[in-house]
Amino acid sequence: MRTPLDDGDDGRETPDLVTPLATYAFLIARARHLDAAEQSSEADMELGPLETPREAGVERDATRDELREALDDLTDDQKAEVLAVVWLGRDDYDASSWDDALADAASGRTRRATAYLMETPGLGDLMAEGLASLGVPEEDLEDVE
């Protein structure tokens, strides 16, 4: 259950998140790693002397599988929260409309949440930006990794 934790520096209440910060840190790291790997392969990445394109693809696939599994393992409440955080990061909502974003995310959208999030470009950055808008700076996420 979400309740206000405290007032941030700007006087805004920071919601209590149902998803642990360690989970967000993992999701953000995996999503950013996957984005970087996909951008590298699209740009015809330079491979190390012992690395083959197949090995690079295997690493990218393993990262994708880790991210998908972590998203699948979230509860419906956590999936709704992650969706709402991403929407905040994308500026579909702002922090003052957090409750609306959360309600919209929870209204039947969690069934396809994993596929939707996996297809979202810049997922890691959007999550980090959404959390920051709620008063959770990225430095707080680095401390829990």
DSSP line for 114-125 = HHHHHT-TTHHH
Residues ≥6 apart with Cβ < 8 Å to 69: none
Of residues 48 and 34, more confidently modeled: 34
pLDDT bin (cut points 50, 70, 90) of residue 111 is confident
Nearest to 132 by CA among 100, 99, 91: 91
Most confident of 12-21, 89-98, 135-144: 89-98
- Average pLDDT, stretch 123-127? 97
- In angstroms, rounded to a whole number, what is the distance separating the alpha carbons of residues 6 and 12? 8
pLDDT at residue number 108: 77
69 in any annotated domain: yes
120 in any annotated domain: yes
What count of Cα atoms within 13 Å lies in the side-chain half-sphere of residue 125? 8
pLDDT bin (cut points 50, 70, 90) of residue 140 is confident
- Average pLDDT, stretch 66-85? 96
57 in any annotated domain: yes
9 in any annotated domain: no
6 in any annotated domain: no
pLDDT tens-digit map of 52-66 = 555 555 566 788 999
Tell me how many domains the chain contains.
1
2 in any annotated domain: no
User: Taking the complete model, does pTM exceed 0.75, yes or no?
Assistant: yes
- Average pLDDT, stretch 115-138? 96
pLDDT bin (cut points 50, 70, 90) of residue 3 is very low
102 in any annotated domain: yes
- In angstroms, rounded to a whole number, what is the distance separating the alpha carbons of residues 127 and 76? 17
Is residue 26 within 8 A of residue 66, CB to CB? The reply is: no
- Average pLDDT, stretch 70-92? 96
Q: Considering the chain, what is the average pLDDT of its residues? A: 82
Positions of E strands within the chain: 4-7, 13-15
Q: How far is CA 42 from CA 35, 37, 45, in A?
A: 10, 9, 7
Is residue 130 within 8 A of residue 85, CB to CB? The reply is: yes
Tokens linked to 71: 């998203």
- Domain span at residue 122 reads 17-136
Nearest to 124 by CA among 35, 17, 59: 35
8 in any annotated domain: no
